[in-house]
Amino acid sequence: MGQSIVKNPRKIFSQQGGGGGSTVEPDFIVLYKNNVNITHTGTVSETKLFSFLIPANTFQANDHVRFVLRTTPNSSSNTRTSRIKFNTSDALGGTQVCQWNTGSANVLTVRNMWMLNSLASQRVAVAATTANNNDETSNLVTANLTTLSIDFTVDQWLIYSGELVTSSADTLTISQVLITVTR
């Protein structure tokens, strides 16, 4: 399964100098990556497919978080819905950041979230409940911006869920996940 890359993002790099090592804060962090297939089938209910813990204060004010995921359905054209949420427990619920639908084709999803001068206010470029898989290529206007209130000064779980909307015989496979932070 995937792996959370950072346990303490403030102590990733160390430089050796005259007096020993010193901590250097990176400008780019790979927060999570996974290239192992995760497949959902058998139920039309929203189901947690993976999650990982983001320790309190991992993010900084004004950080940019980028989510890149590839989802692959089986051959039917039925709708499957994917969601990313943050929650203080490792369970469905919490605050939804984005959702997108998958039909019969592979979908590369790119979504972005910006911290707004604090760890308790974020902005996403497409409303968190709007089905849109790529906010970097969409014709977005200011009205599409949504402000969220997720408190990243406490531990938060990133929850990825999938829902087979039409038939429990359908499948939804997440084949690649990359979540990065730019300072």
Residues 91-138 pLDDT 10s: 999 999 988 887 767 888 888 899 999 999 998 876 655 666 676 665
Indicate if the pLDDT at residue 3 is higher than 60. no
User: Is 147:32 a contact under the CB 8 Å cutoff?
Assistant: no
Indicate if the pLDDT at residue 166 is higher than 50. yes
Domain boundaries, the chain: 3-182
CATH 2.60.120 fits 3-182, yes or no: yes
Mean pLDDT, to the nearest integer, of 84-95? 96
Amino acid at 11: K
Distance (Å, whole) CA 135 – CA 39: 24
Distance (Å, whole) CA 85 – CA 54: 12
Indicate if the pLDDT at residue 78 is higher than 70. yes
Q: What is the pTM of this model?
A: 0.81
pLDDT of residue 7: 46
pLDDT of residue 79: 82
